[in-house]
Chains A and B, each alone.
Chain A
């Protein structure tokens, strides 16, 4: 291998460096959330105190509930919308305007978040909508759609149309063919999209920060306002929880997609 022309020395150490850079900050901040001392240099003992302290704060409890509520609702609604769009786009012959539809669906990914944030703020105020959980939810559904659409459409493309045709030959209605044939086969893609959308909603700080009203803080917003006092172990603790939720969901989403590949 080393004498092969396609071997470039140094790519392995750089890859290891790349992973080291990506993971070290996350691992370090998680480790310090378990240190009983506020110190960086000395390790007291292993403790869950910062977690208990952080989550006994009513503001943080409230923000956690808000974040979870919005993430569950936004990801489910966005997944339904994305599933409908993917079914319309990919079952049957290619539609006219197909490219425009894909462009519109991916638009939220292309725009800088800060522009989406101020545009949403201006819009909600222009239509006289009260800023709060409702406005955050609406804004989140919009940018969750492309994230849910991607794995669902990839999955649907892999399911041959002949399955539907077989169902129609057996006198299944359009709905029955969807319900009993396409839906079960597309399920891994749908679950994968749902989880990605959930993570994306839970992650958002910039948009929520703009369109939230009083009392509708989400968890990232609460972390941000806590930063004014400085980097406390409580922040490390909440960050670690958010980090673990993201990694858990994304791993599950990846697993869904991977195990599904072997079944088609």
Chain B
């Protein structure tokens, strides 16, 4: 720990300047997260809140439910399915973002230096627009009587509207749309540090474009690709708005399950337990990625 009495005057001033941010985030974020952890080991109160009795019920409830008559614990896959769906949706969104984001980042990185920041800015603007508004805009376009379906019917490509809204695909699309800029930025950063003459060197050694891409370019910018994938995957797996609006309440994901425990079902310890499980999944994902990164550097 920091010993305040051993600090010089200058250091005291500097730590003093840093302290408001630490206090603010510590008090209103770190302590609340710790309380969530504690609450996940308590029993639910009758009208929301908690009873201060230690219990592992919240975690058991995740996998088992009590039979009404015999009071025996039976395995239930309902919540696992929600986790599986979240994982799958986040993975699809990450893949879609990569397929569009990587070529885009490459295109921007090969533009003349003075126009690159403008291209990047064009990619980032939509990120700053209210996520709720962006998701509503997506819903507006893809719903049954929306412009997309009307347009396809006008072209006579389809006779009846395609059911897009309130399907699993709509959620993937929404997540992809929400986090696409996150994929482009880190890949671009990695590409802008990449020495393009290495591709020429590969070509001189009779590598095809594809071989140069696969064996030279992609391995060199893998850190940027990992970072982009994390930046899409993590917010996607914990997302709330896209499954809520575009899934029409039928495509629950982890974020919706947590919110429900604090709004509808009023089972706070269970909600807290799911939040802790989600944080653990995110931590493990980050660890795996950072281990891979270390492994590659060696």
Q: Could you give, for residues 209-244 of chain A, a 1 whenever the CB lies within 8 Å of some chain B CB and a 0 otherwise?
A: 010000000001001100100010001100100110
Q: How far is the CB of B1 from the nearest CB of chain A, in Å? A: 10
In the complex, the answer to whether A122 meets B39 with C-beta atoms within 8 Å is yes
Q: Could you give, for residues 92-115 of chain B, a 1 whenever the CB lies within 8 Å of some chain A CB and a 0 otherwise?
A: 000000001101101110100000
Q: Could you give, for residues 110-124 of chain B, a 1 whenever the CB lies within 8 Å of some chain A CB and a 0 otherwise?
A: 100000010101111
Identity of the chain B residue whose Cβ is nearest the Cβ of A14 in the assembled complex: B103
Q: Could you give, for residues 7-27 of chain A, a 1 whenever the CB lies within 8 Å of some chain B CB and a 0 otherwise?
A: 110111011011101111110
In the complex, the answer to whether B108 meets A115 with C-beta atoms within 8 Å is no
In the complex, the answer to whether A19 meets B137 with C-beta atoms within 8 Å is no
Q: Could you give, for residues 75-88 of chain A, a 1 whenever the CB lies within 8 Å of some chain B CB and a 0 otherwise?
A: 00000011011011
Q: Could you give, for residues 141-159 of chain A, a 1 whenever the CB lies within 8 Å of some chain B CB and a 0 otherwise?
A: 1100100010000000000
> A138 an interface residue at 8 Å Cβ cutoff?
yes
Residues of B121-159 at the interface with A, using a CB-CB cut-off of 8 Å, are 121-126, 128-134, 136-141, 143, 145-147, 150, 154
Hey, which chain B residues are within 8 Å of A25, CB to CB?
134, 137-138, 140-141, 177
Hey, which chain A residues are within 8 Å of B150, CB to CB?
40-41
| The one of B104, B196, B268 that contacts A6, using a Cβ cutoff of 8 Å | B196
In the complex, the answer to whether B108 meets A91 with C-beta atoms within 8 Å is no
> B271 an interface residue at 8 Å Cβ cutoff?
yes
Q: How far is the CB of B7 from the nearest CB of chain A, in Å? A: 10
A249 to B132, CA, bound (A): 18
Hey, which chain A residues are within 8 Å of B278, CB to CB?
112, 115
In the complex, the answer to whether B33 meets A82 with C-beta atoms within 8 Å is no
Using a CB–CB cutoff of 8 Å, the interface residues on chain A facing chain B are: 4-8, 10-12, 14-15, 17-19, 21-26, 28-29, 32, 40-41, 81-82, 84-85, 87-89, 91-92, 95-97, 101, 104-105, 107-108, 110-123, 125-126, 138-139, 141-142, 145, 149, 174, 196, 199, 202-203, 205-206, 210, 220, 223-224, 227, 231, 235-236, 239, 242-243, 246-247, 249-251, 254, 258
